[in-house]
Amino acid sequence: MGDAGLKASRRKLVASVATALVVAAIIGWLHERSRGPHFLSSSPEQFAAQFAAPATPDSADTRRELDELLALQGSRTADEVAAARADRKTRVGKFYAALGLGVNPPSLPKLERLAERVEDDVRIYVRAAKEHSRRLRPYEIEPRLQPCIDDVRGDLSFPSGHAAYGWSMAYLLSALVPERSTELEARAEEFAHQRMLCGVHFRSDLDAGRLAAQRLLAQMQQDPEFRVEAAAAAAEVRTALGLK
C-alpha cells in the first residue's frame, strides 16, 4: 500500500474512532437522563399537587398581573432586553459573578456536575407541576404582550422553570458559600424577573418557581449522595475564592 493509501486508511480509522466516541457519549447522556432523579425520591405528581391552582385567565387577579406585564413592556429598555436574552440559558456560570469569582473564573468541575444534577431534578418536578396546572403563557391571554424572547413557545407557565432554576442555584450556592448569600439571592431575583420583563411569565409563576426551589433543595439536602457531592463542591469553590 502506497503513502496515499496509508493516509486514507488512517483518516478512516480516526473518523471511526471519533464516531464511536460521539456515539458512546450520546448513549451515556441518554442513560443518565433516563435514570430519574439524582437526589429526590418523592413522587413528582405528589410534589405538583402541593401547589394551589393559579388564577384563571378571566379572573381579576390575572388581569392585574397582565396589566403589570404591559407596564413593564412599555418601560423596558434595550439594555434590559439584551440582559434577559443573555440569561436565556440555564448555566451555573451565570451566577459566578454573584459568587465573587470575577470575570475569568477557574474551572470548577465538581460544582458544575452538582449544579447539572440539581437542575436535572428540578426540571422533572417543575415539569410535573406545569402539567398539573396547565396555565397558559401571559401573551396567549393578552395579545398586546410582545415577548422579547422566543424560546418558550408551546410551553406552560406555572411554575416558572427559569425562576425555579435561578433560585435553586442561589440556594445551592448559598449553602456552599453562605458569605455570598445576599449577592446570590439578588442575582436569582434578577434572573427570574427578566421573564416578567419579557412578558413570558406572570409574577405568580415566579413566586411558585421560588417556592419549588425551596422545597426541592430542602429535600435534596436530606440525601446522602447530595451531601457528599455538596461537600466536595464546597471545598472546590471555597478554595477558588480563597475562603476557609
190-230, pLDDT tens digit by residue? 999 999 999 999 999 999 999 999 999 999 999 999 999 99
Same domain membership, residue 139 and residue 110: yes
pTM of the shown model: 0.83
Same domain membership, residue 229 and residue 134: yes
Give how far Cα 228 sits from Cα of 25, 39, 135, 220, 234, Å: 25, 11, 37, 11, 10
Same domain membership, residue 9 and residue 118: no
Radius of gyration of the chain (CA): 22
CATH number, position 215: 1.20.144.10
- Residue ranges making up the domain that contains 5: 1-35
Report residue 75 CA to chain centroid gap.
Answer: 26
Taking the C-alpha atoms of residue 86 and residue 161, their distance in angstroms, rounded to an integer, is 17
On the CB side of 231, CA atoms within 13 Å amount to: 5
End-to-end CA distance of the chain: 63
Q: What is the mean pLDDT of the chain?
A: 89
Cell of 36: 430519574
136-160, pLDDT tens digit by residue? 999 999 999 999 987 666 789 999 9
| Burial zone of 211 (CB within 10 Å; 0-12 exposed, 13-18 middle, 19+ buried) | middle
Same domain membership, residue 130 and residue 52: yes
Q: What domain count does the chain have?
A: 2
Same domain membership, residue 201 and residue 102: yes
Same domain membership, residue 45 and residue 30: no
Same domain membership, residue 19 and residue 47: no
Q: Quick one: pLDDT at residue 120?
A: 96
Which of 151, 9, 169, 30 is closest to 92 using CA atoms? Answer: 169
SS3 179: helix
Same domain membership, residue 52 and residue 5: no
Q: Quick one: pLDDT at residue 116?
A: 97
Same domain membership, residue 172 and residue 65: yes
58-111, pLDDT tens digit by residue? 999 999 999 999 999 999 999 999 999 999 999 999 999 999 998 889 999 999
Q: Quick one: pLDDT at residue 7?
A: 56
Percent of the chain with pLDDT over 90: 80
Same domain membership, residue 12 and residue 116: no
Same domain membership, residue 46 and residue 98: yes
On the CB side of 147, CA atoms within 13 Å amount to: 17
Same domain membership, residue 138 and residue 22: no
